[in-house]
Amino acid sequence: MDIDLVNPDFYANGGIPHEQFRWLRENAPVYRHHGDGAGETDFWAITRFDDVVHVSRHPEIFSSREKLALFPEPSEDQLAMQRMMMLNQDPPEHTRKRSIVNRGFTPRTIGKLEDHIRAICDGLIDEVAGRGEADFVHDISAPLPLYVICELLGAPPEDREKIFDWSNRLIAQDDPDYRAPEDDGMAAATELYAYANELAVRRREEPRDDIVTKLLQQHGGEELSVDEFDLFVMLLTVAGNETTRNAASGGMLAFFENPAQWQRLLDERAAGGDRLAGTFPDEIVRWVSPVNLFKRTAMKDTEIRGQRIAEGDKVVVFYSSANRDEGVFADPYSFDVGRDPNPHIGFGGGGPHFCLGAHLARLELRVLFETLLARMPGITQTGDARRLRSNFINGIKEMPVRFAT
Ligand code: HEM
């Protein structure tokens, strides 16, 4: 089989290459991917569930430094910024920051946002209701996570648009629709950094009952410095946006392609039940796997399935493949909103970097689709979903829909 897991055009034209992944899981689960020399394209591709979990849970062997995209190679400025973010750090540096930010993301703190999220979803649907048609990505799935992050940060609604723009420019996409080729996102990063800085200073002067205040509060010396806070805001903006946006868009597409599953949710609601509300968000994340991969670096010689990995080698874990692993999921190629148990690793394979926003993302997905089921039960797709040109994010850029409200 001809294997190319890097070329973004490949993803733009067909989405996740599931046939290649199936072949790799069966025939070469620890596969040496040889690139064409452009960017970091020489790496070990890890495609089976158990191996992705193993790599994720052993940060002392598989470091998270330089874990971001494979291609193209980041600029020196981007690398310098990435290195300072928790996402790219290892214990013990990572542990301290993570234990501070965890405070703001407990199920209880996140649960309190449900009414706000419902109001945001209703507001987005109110905006398009009169038109009878919309672009699902532009009008619904893209603004939702961004508005939620603004809510988290206590940013006023009039700032949403500029934060939206910074966030789009910041996210290093290979897609020309997202940014001009000469823009490496650094200008947006600088502006967002300055914005976060102002926010931090204001909140230190006037504390409120919100997550920002919690992160900046003194806790026996265990608080974030203003600098660390600014970087964290940047990380949240990147990590919380495209992921949730594409989970929502890919979830909607999965319902269009599997109308019986949409009907199952409608029938359950009509009967007054809510069991599926507890399972469908995770099935969407398994099915879509919005984050296709992350990279690790081997810190010493090691082995996976008997294959020797040398110190310094790059190891890439493919969540999208692991989430279709036949050894773990019954009938992995069917989208089943009642799947239970569903041990997917769309939020990471466990270990120290497991997604900080998993509770929030599940909540956003549940409330969004509950709102759509209630207000747009007959939503249909009216044109092709245009896919993002990226090997990192399994994304959809546009998806026209029609509905009656
Ligand atoms: C980390 C996926 C939503 C914040 C991660 C990782 C994955 C992931 C795969 C890396 C795990 C690892 O390296 O082991 C997703 C998906 C989402 C989502 C699929 C939506 C469906 C969010 C949201 C937020 C968020 C809404 C915050 C608002 C983060 C942060 C990290 C992270 C801060 C880094 C954690 C660390 O380094 O300790 N996410 N994420 N994510 N995610 Fe998410």
Ligand 1 pocket mutation pick from 57, 83, 212, 243 by most atoms within 8 angstroms of CB: 243
Q: Which residue has the tokens 């994720």?
A: 56
Q: What's the pLDDT tens digit per position in 225-265? A: 888 888 898 889 888 998 999 999 999 999 999 999 999 99
CA–centroid distance, 300 to ligand 1, in Å, is 26
CA of 101 to the centre of ligand 1 (A): 13
- Of 248, 280, 250, 246, the closest CA to residue 263 belongs to 280
- The residue whose CA has the least distance to atom 21 of ligand 1 is 244
Ligand 1 shell residues, CB under 6 Å: 56, 86-87, 98, 145, 149, 235-236, 239-240, 243-244, 247, 285, 290-291, 294, 319, 346-349, 351, 353-357, 360-361
Residue-wise pLDDT for 301-311, tens only, equals 999 999 999 99
pLDDT interval class at 278 (50, 70, 90): very high
Using the 8-state DSSP alphabet, how is residue 387 labeled? E
Segment 358-374 shows an average pLDDT of 98
Of 282, 303, 389, the closest CA to residue 46 belongs to 303
The per-residue pLDDT for 237 is 87
Residue whose pair of structure tokens reads 């996740």 in the numeric block:
16
3-state secondary structure (DSSP) of residue 401: strand
CATH of 74-291+318-402, one of 1.10.630.10, 1.10.238.10, 1.10.132.20, 3.40.50.300: 1.10.630.10
Q: How confident is the model at residue 274 (pLDDT cuts 50, 70, 90)?
A: very high
Question: pLDDT per residue over 101-143, tens digit each?
Answer: 998 899 998 999 999 999 999 999 999 999 999 999 999 999 9
